Amino acid sequence: MKIVITGALGHIGSKLIRELPNRFINADIVLIDNFLVQRYCSLFQLPTNGRYKFHEADIFEADLVELFKDADVVIHLAAITNAADSFKNADEIEKVNFQGTCRVAKACVETKSKLIFLSTTSVYGTQLDKVAEDCSLDELKPQSPYADSKLRSEKMLSELKGLEFIICRFGTIFGISDGMRFHTAINRFCWQATMGIPLTVWKTALNQYRPYLDLEDAVDSICFIIKNQIFNREIYNVLTDNYMVSDIVGIIREIIPRTEINFVETQIMNQLSYFVLNDKFTNSGFQFKGNIKEQITKTIHLLKGANTSLLVN
C-alpha cells in the first residue's frame, strides 16, 4: 500500500505519520510539506518501522501526478487553518485551501487515487440546536474565509467526476503532537493558562456549545476510513463531543486555579449555541474514545516546565 499525506508535518499530520506504520504494515508513506511554518521537529525520531519518503514541496509547484503515482490513498491535510486570522489573508486562503484542493483532487483523478479531504464543522452557521450532515443549504453559513474555502472545496469535489473520496468535517482539534500549534481554542487556552496569561475568550462564546475532536480520535478516524474503504463520496461529521467554553475553562481551573478570563471582540461572533451530531460516522462502526479532561491535563503538564509555579501539581 502507498499512502500520501499533504501537509504531513502539521498538528494532525505529525501524529498521523507516526501511527500509520503500526496500522498499515510495510506501507510506503509519502510525506509532502512546504515547511511554511518550519516544523522540522515533526520529522525527528520517526518510527523505525516506517517506510517514509519526504518531499519538501508546495502543492502548487510540485508534480502531484508523479508524487501520487500508484498511491492507494491521498490524505489531504495541507491548508491554512486559522479561522479568526483568515479575514486578514483571504486571498492566500483562497489559493491554498480552495485552489490547492482543486489541484490535489484533479491529480487524484488522473492517478486513480482515493482521497480523504479534511473539511471543518465551521461550515455550519446554523441557528438550530443540533445539526447533521443532511441539514439544508440555508444552515451552511460559513463565518470566515477559512470555513468558506472548505465549503466551496466540498462542492467542487461533489461535482468532480471519476474521483473516489470522503469528506470529513472535523471538529476543532485538541491534544498533543510533535507538530502541534496553539491557535485553536483548547490548546491556546492551555498555553495562556500555563503562562499566567488571561484566557482570551470571544464575548459571545463562553456558554456556546461547539464541536471538538481529540487528536487521537482524529488519527483513528483516518485509519478507520482507509481500513474500511469508506470512499463513497459522502460527508461525515467527525468530532469527539460538543463542549461549552465554560466547560473547558472549568477543567483548566482544576489544574491552574488562578486562571482568569479576558473577553475579546472577534469577527466570528454571530452564531448561537449548537451541537454538531456525529451519528452518521458512529453508525459506520467508528467509536470515539477521546477524553477532553485527560488531554487538557496532558497538554498543560507538557508545558509546565515553562511556568511551574502556576500549577497545583
**Inter-CA distances, 98 with 103, 108, 121, Å:** 9, 15, 16
Whether 87 shows a pLDDT value over 80: the answer reads: no
Q: How much is the average pLDDT of 279-292?
A: 98
Q: How much is the average pLDDT of 200-213?
A: 87
pLDDT digits (tens, 9 = 90+) for 156-184: 999 999 999 999 999 999 999 999 888 88
Identify whether the C-beta of residue 310 lies closer than 8 Å to the C-beta of residue 255: no
pLDDT digits (tens, 9 = 90+) for 301-312: 999 876 766 665
For residue 197, the SS3 value is coil
Identify whether the C-beta of residue 176 lies closer than 8 Å to the C-beta of residue 302: yes
pLDDT of residue 236: 98
pLDDT of residue 269: 47
For residue 288, the SS3 value is coil
pLDDT of residue 70: 98
Longest dimension (CA), the chain: 58
- Average pLDDT of the chain, as a whole number: 90
Query: Structural domains in the chain?
Result: 2-175+212-238 (3.40.50.720), 185-209+241-274+291-310 (3.90.25.10)
Q: What's the predicted TM-score (pTM) here? A: 0.93
**Chain Cα centroid distance, residue 226:** 17
The cell numbers describing 174, all together, are: 485538541
